[in-house]
Structure 1
Amino acid sequence: MAPSPPDVCRFAPSTTGQAHLGTLTAALLCWLDARARGARLLLRLEDLDPDRCRPEHARSILDDLTWLGLDWDATVEQRALAPQHEAALDHLAAQGALYPCTASREDLRALGRRAPDGGFAYDNRSRGRPLPPGGWRASRDPLRVALPAGTFSPADEGGLDLSQDPSLALGDPVVRRRDGAIAYQLAVVVDDAAAHVTRIVRGRDIAPSTATQAALQTLLGLPTPRYRHHLLLLEARGGKLAKTHLSPRGATLGLTAPRLCGQLAWCVGLLPEPEDCTPADLLRTFDWTRVTPVDQVVSWQDGKLHATPADG
């Protein structure tokens, strides 16, 4: 029997701002997982948002990841996959699953039903609305896709329950925005399939979207990768770190790469105490059983990273 092909993994930061400590932590865990299992590892720079994505952010993120000691087997710019995105919309339109929708964020907020991702759920009110005579390309409205009803249960290696009926829990997702940009939920499943991704390691803030992505994979006839969702780094007020929090290489921190790598490794449980190290050093003993499942509230004081369990 021929050996199974190696896994294909990816790290996919958006280029809407610079990397921060949460970005580097997620990249480090993804890199360690992939390298520990001999997988092919891709860096996908998600750059579809025409209003917020900038080439200088993409360069900065790549520089920061390289500075930390991470490497990639290939780098992909998401916008280069536009033909696959359009083909997916053609496929969904041929199934009669695409429809235009004018519901605004204010409309969803007025409905008052919270979704598992913290936003407001959509009530599928425009299902059945036809596309214009010219098809989806002629629509000036955002496009949504009618998801199949029923529960989807993608597996999570960390034990999270990802079971959900996404058509009810969140509602039909937008797949093309009003400005013509392909929306995240469609792009991520198309991009992963195009790169033959078999394994996805990412923060658990994305976990509520996984069933929606599994539903889209079913509609498009695409495989569902295996998932592992890991802890998040949170700011003191409880939200996850954003692009504006603790940029790693600027005056905010000013540490050497080994010093910061050791601080991050300690924060997630891979080291008992902070000590200078490289990702390659951590690879020798990497195991997910050593990574804490508990989100960490972090702050930077006196040149050191301080972390406390979010549930503590």
Structure 2
Amino acid sequence: MLTRFAPSPTGYLHVGNVRTALICWMYARSQNGKFLLRFDDTDLQRSDVKYIDSIIQDLRWVGIDWDSNFKQSERFERYNEVFSQLIKEGHIYVCYETREELDIKRKLQLKQGLPPVYDRSALFLTEQEKIRYEQEGRKPHFRFRLDRNEVVNWNDEVKGEINIAASHVSDPIVKREDGIYTYMLPSVIDDIDFNVTHVVRGEDHVTNTAVQIQMIQALKAKIQTFAHLPLLHFDDSKISKRKGGLDIKSIKEDEIEPMALASYLTKLGTSDPIEAHVSIQSLIDSFGIEKFSSASAQFSLSEVYKLNSKVLQQMSFAMVEERLSQTGVNSSEFWYFIRSNIERFSEVAKWWQICKSNIEPVILYREFAKVALNALPQGDCNENTLSEWVKAIQQKVDIKAKDLFMQLRLALTGTKTGPELAKLLIFIGRENIVTRLKE
């Protein structure tokens, strides 16, 4: 088994891309298969190496690896070879209409209540007409000639039985007037040459699949197994590269854990519950392409944030030890205490600094601080220190428990809210407590 993910390096990856990549990758890994990364960069003007670098970083960040990779721009010689073969065999033909002329044709067809299918008028051009167009400076584009008598059908692993009448589809342009190949033909050639067995992609490619099946047949190759995933929706619109805040670059900057995103995207739209996973292997082990529904799925960034804190709560000290050391935290006890009180990993360093560094305590009443200082139990702090301390303070002043806790928290942490104060005292330590109350 071999699956592939084929991003176009004309922009940053977004959650829709990464969901497809994860599903392709997990499908292969769950079947002990291989995974191919292909960059669809035939449009050299729009493609950029910075996007290739970014895509590689984002895929690695979310836990995806690959067995091989290549760029389509390295294979133009091969595409030209097959292109020439298909022209000789009559599968590809030359056209000279301008974009304006094609647009007028489409509008007239729609006005007459007809499907906007290309009328194949280019097939009836004489050699003299072609020469005249060339002399006028028109540059040709090329179309693949579909067998319009066929109803293309396949058993889709997500959508079930699909039937598409080729008579309702325009002959696709495979090479533009500027000489650039469109997506269609190079993708088919690559899938054949690299022995791709399973193609998993969005449902917006369903009609493309019908076209590409006829291309595969023209090249006398084996047809792959197809699975078309429903597109994700966000605020009632399709997720695209233009949707702000949903590119992986932004999500990483917002400190979402990769396993939180992977846990959400690979279960969204399936029959499985969406739960926090800390191991990518556990997601692979529970993967099944048959679990995906053909109904559209709603993407919720707030749900990813909720999963983020749950992922952190399940992470062992060994999983985060290196990351913690980079922030100056070297205590496994502190990690196991604080992980249940944070939504983002960076909050660990914040609370470590509150415990160990000089802070600006908030003293509402100086007299209270003096009483609290004198009532502080002797010896190192433990889990019983706070309860003993509170009793001792209440014996000396008439104060509600709620107000007492608030004043202690403000004085010792400078914040109104935070982790359980009884355990926090252990990490703040008696020396820092005394210093902050004296201030």
Which TM-score tier does this pair reach, normalised by the shorter chain? 0.7 to 0.9
Structure 1 stretch displaced more, 14-23 or 104-113 = 104-113
- Which residue of 106, 117, 137 corresponds with 2:103? 106
Give the match's secondary structure for 1:44: strand
CA deviations 1:207-238 (Å, max 9, x no partner) are 12111101111222222111111222123233
2:283 corresponds to: 282
Provide structure 1 residue ranges, at least 5 long, that are not aligned to the other structure.
Answer: 1-6, 307-312
Q: Distance in 2 between matches of 1:178 and 1:305?
A: 50
Q: Deviations over 1:21-72 (max 9, x none)?
A: 0011111111111111121210111111233221111111111111000111
2:250 corresponds to: 250
Larger Rg: 2
Residues 270 and 154 of structure 1: is their aligned pair in 2 closer, same or farther, counting only changes over 3 Å?
A: closer
Distance change (3 Å), C-alpha of 1:23 and 1:121? same
Q: 1:233 to 1:89 in 2, by over 3 A?
A: same
Residue number in structure 2 paired with 1:310 = none
What amino acid is aligned across from residue 151 of structure 2 in structure 1? Answer: T
2:96·2:139 contact (CA, 8 Å) conserved in 1? no
User: Do the aligned partners of residues 124 and 288 (structure 1) sit closer, same or farther apart at CA in structure 2, a change above 3 Å counting?
Assistant: same
Aligned counterpart, 2:329: none
Q: Which amino acid aligns with 1:127?
A: L
Change (3 A) 1:227 1:130: farther
Distance 2:301 2:3 in 1: 31
Residue 127 (str. 1) matches residue 123 (str. 2):
yes
Which deviates more from structure 2 when the two are superposed, residues 31-40 or residues 50-59?
50-59
Partner SS for 1:181: coil
Equivalent-residue separation in structure 2 for 1:112 and 1:304 (angstroms) = 48
Q: Please say if 1:54 is aligned against 2:38.
A: no
Q: Give the 3 Å change call, closer, same or farther, for CA 129–154 of structure 1 in structure 2.
A: farther
- Contact 1:265–1:274 (CA<8 Å) still a contact in 2? no
Deviation at 1:159, TM superposition (A): 3.9
Cα RMSD after superposing both structures: 2.8
Task: Tell me the secondary structure at the aligned position of residue 35 of structure 1.
Answer: helix
Cα gap change, 1:63 to 1:130, in 2 (>3 Å): farther
- The 10-residue stretch of structure 1 (38-47 or 259-268) with the greater mean CA deviation from structure 2: 259-268
Distance 2:262 2:16 in 1: 12
For residues 254 and 218 of structure 2, what CA distance do their matches in structure 1 show? 46
**Structure number with higher helix proportion:** 2
1:191, CA displacement in angstroms? Answer: 1.2
1:23-38 to structure 2, matched below 5 A, reads 23-38=17-32
Give 2:265's aligned residue: 264
CA contact (8 A) 2:159 2:294 kept: no
Give me the TM-score of the superposition, normalised by structure 2. 0.61
Q: Are 2:38 and 2:72, in contact at CA under 8 Å, matched by a contact in 1?
A: yes
Normalising by structure 1, we get a TM-score of 0.83
SS in 2 for 1:99: strand
Structure 2: stretches of 5+ with no match in the other structure: 132-136, 308-439
Cα–Cα, structure 1 residues 145 and 250, in superposed 2: closer, same or farther, change >3 Å?
A: same
Alignment of 1:98-177 (within 5 A): 98-104=93-99, 106-107=103-104, 109-113=106-110, 120-129=116-125, 140-149=139-148, 150-166=150-166, 168-177=167-176
SS of the equivalent of 1:268 reads: coil
Equivalent pairs: percent with the same residue? 26
List per-residue Cα deviations over 1:238-268 (Å, max 9, x = no partner). Answer: 3x21112201232674312112212223423
Partner residue, 1:3: none
Q: Distance in 1 between matches of 2:228 and 2:280?
A: 20
Partner of 1:309: none
Higher relative contact order (CA 8 A, sep 6+): 1
Runs of 4 or more off by more than 4 Å in structure 1?
130-133
